[in-house]
Structure 1
Amino acid sequence: MQLVLVRHPQPEVAPGVCYGSTDISTSIEAIAQVAASLRTAGLPGGLPVYASPLLRCATLAAALDVPVRLDARLAEMDFGAWEMRAWDAIPRAEVDAWAADLLHYRPGGGESVFDVARRVAAFRAELRHPAALVICHAGTIRLLSALHTGGSIEQAALRAASSPHRIGYGDVIVLKD
């Protein structure tokens, strides 16, 4: 299986704000720029396209003018009460509690990394295409990449959660078996 993973364009949110499942839009210019780069990237034609239903992904997918399957399992992690709060405003004790239990802690009462890993793994397990284009989020990309390397869902979730985040807006990552 080959997965072409694309991170959404930069959302319209202030720097330093925690956002995950909040449905934030992106500028028309950012959508157009990433869509244009995908059209000229030399990606295999005719790939089925899947996308997170959040605006920052769904809008990019729609700009490609191809059939798209929106799948809620590709959405970014729900940070509960942390959503749309400045990271600096989140009590240090809560961030430390998450760092102490990356797998099961529910930041802001939202989802745990394990919850997200299970839904992303279910999406991956149901893919029946030899290749697909997936427009999603950095967290989802990290989980799909970790699942791709093998091991249990728990192991993949811990690898994804403990690895540094270096996926830029509009980046394309290709996973091949």
Structure 2
Amino acid sequence: MKLLLVRHPQPLVTPGVCYGSTNLAIAPGQLEQTLAALKLPAGLSIYSSPLRRCAELAARLGDNIIYDARLAEMHFGDWEMQPWDAIPRADIDAWAADTVHYHPGGGESVLQMAERIAAFYSELNGDAIIICHAGTIRLLAARHAGLAPAEMALQAAQTAHQIPYGSTLTL
């Protein structure tokens, strides 16, 4: 199975803000820039996170998009839309001490996200384009490599992402 994972265009958000599953618009000009750079094959199923920054890109790629909430970025609870430097250091340290099971801001743990990504992956039945988020891409790549959810979560949590907005990763 060949998967083309596309990270959404840059969202309209102040740098240094935790935005996870917040439904943000795309920054001006970024949708067009991403579309101009994409080289995707025709005829593949297209799946997308329903969050606006993904859905707007997906809608420009085809008509029969399958929007799946399991592809959304991690929900950071009370941390959503807070500057990272305003989140209490003790909370960040608690997350760093248990990156797999900790619920940042009372939201979702990385393990919970990995479980929903694994469930999505198990239902795929052929080559596809998936419009999603950096966290989702890291977890899908781990699942594609054969890791179970706990291993996916650990790998994703321990690996800093370097996935540019609008980029494509082929698995």
1:37 aligned residue: 37
Displacement, 1:58?
A: 0.2
Structure 1, unaligned stretches of length 5 or more? none
Displacement after TM superposition at 1:32 (Å):
1.6
Q: Does residue 69 of the first structure (1) align with residue 66 of the second (2)?
A: yes
Superposed CA deviations along residues 88-124 of structure 1, whole A, max 9, x for unmatched, are 0000100010011111100000000000000011000
Is the counterpart of residue 154 in structure 1 residue 124 in structure 2? no
2:67 and 2:103 mapped to 1: Cα distance? 25
RMSD across aligned positions (CA) = 1.0
Partner residue in 2 for 1:2 = 2
Cα distance, 1:28 vs structure 2: 5.0
Alignment TM-score, normalising by the size of structure 2: 0.97
Instruction: Show the 5 A alignment for 1:99-114.
Output: 99-114=96-111
Q: How far did residue 151 of structure 1 move?
A: 2.7
Contact 2:11 2:27 in 1 (8 A): yes
Alpha-carbon distance between aligned partners in 2 of 1:116 and 1:151, rounded to the nearest angstrom: 14
Question: How many correspondences in the alignment?
Answer: 171
Contact residue 6 and residue 132 of structure 2 kept, 8 A:
yes
Q: Distance in 2 between matches of 1:158 and 1:139?
A: 12
The whole-number CA distance in structure 2 between the counterparts of 1:65 and 1:169 is 20
Matching residue's letter, 2:25: S
Greater mean deviation of Cα atoms: 115-124 or 141-150: 141-150
Asked if the contact 2:74/2:110 (under 8 Å) is kept, the reply is: yes
Q: Which runs of 5+ in 2 are unaligned?
A: none
Question: In the TM superposition, what are the counterparts of 1:61-140 in structure 2 within 5 Å?
Answer: 61-129=58-126, 131-140=127-136
- The percentage of counterpart residues that share the same residue type is 58
Amino acid across the alignment from 2:144: H
8 Å Cα contact 2:49-2:131 kept in structure 1: yes
Secondary structure of 2:131 counterpart: strand
Structure 1 runs, 4 residues or longer, greater than 3 Å off: none
Q: State the shift of 1:36 in Å.
A: 2.4
Q: Which residue pairs with 1:165 in the alignment?
A: 161
Is the Cα–Cα contact under 8 Å of residues 31 and 63 in structure 1 kept in the other structure?
no
SS of the aligned residue for 1:49 comes to: strand
Q: Which amino acid aligns with 1:151?
A: L
* 1:150 Cα offset (Å): 1.7
Q: Which residue of 2 aligns with 1:16?
A: 16
1:57 correspondence with 2:54 = yes
The CA deviation at 1:63 is 1.4
CA deviation after TM superposition for structure 1 residue 61, in Å: 0.5
2:70 & 2:147 partners in 1: Cα distance? 20
